[in-house]
Each structure stands twice: as structure tokens, then as C-alpha cells.
Amino acid sequence: EKIIATAYDDAALNNGTTGTFTQGIYKVDWTVTDSVPISAVKNINVVVTWRIGGDQKTFTTNYYKAVTY
């Protein structure tokens, strides 16, 4: 939610920016890529990992943030 609420031109969403945070059993990693799949759009790849009963689980999604004028 914090990433989604971040403004398109915020330094936190510069091309190549990565981040990680942990909340409870969840570890969230993200990477920002500019102009993917088209110009004026940022692709934010988010990977969530956690362990349950010794098994590691993973959820991956992409969020696309377009510039608004």
C-alpha cells in the first residue's frame, strides 16, 4: 500500500530502486523499472516470502504506475 501511494516522480520510485521490509512472518522485496511495458509507466515487481511449518512460500506480483498529468 505504501508503494502504491507513493507519487510517480518520488525518488523512492527511481529506475533500479530496490527495497525490503519485514512485517511479522512476511518479507517484502520490490524493484522498480522505468518505461516497462511502455514509456511513462513504472513496473514495480513485488515479491513476498514467508515460512509456514518449515516450508517457504512465495507470492510475486507486478504493479504498474503511470504518470498522471
Question: And the C-alpha cell for 43?
Answer: 513496473
Amino acid 69: pLDDT: 76
Task: Please tell me the pTM assigned to this model.
Answer: 0.85
Amino acid 36: pLDDT: 85
The arrangement of strands across the sheet holding 41-52 comes to: 18-23, 26-34, 41-52, 55-66
Amino acid 26: pLDDT: 97
Strand 55-66 relative to strand 41-52, pairing: antiparallel
Dihedral pair phi/psi, residue 5, rounded to 5° = -80, -10
| Number of Cβ atoms within 10 Å of the Cβ of 6 | 16
pLDDT of the chain, 69 residues: tens digit per residue: 788 899 999 999 999 999 999 999 999 999 999 998 899 999 999 999 999 999 999 999 999 999 987
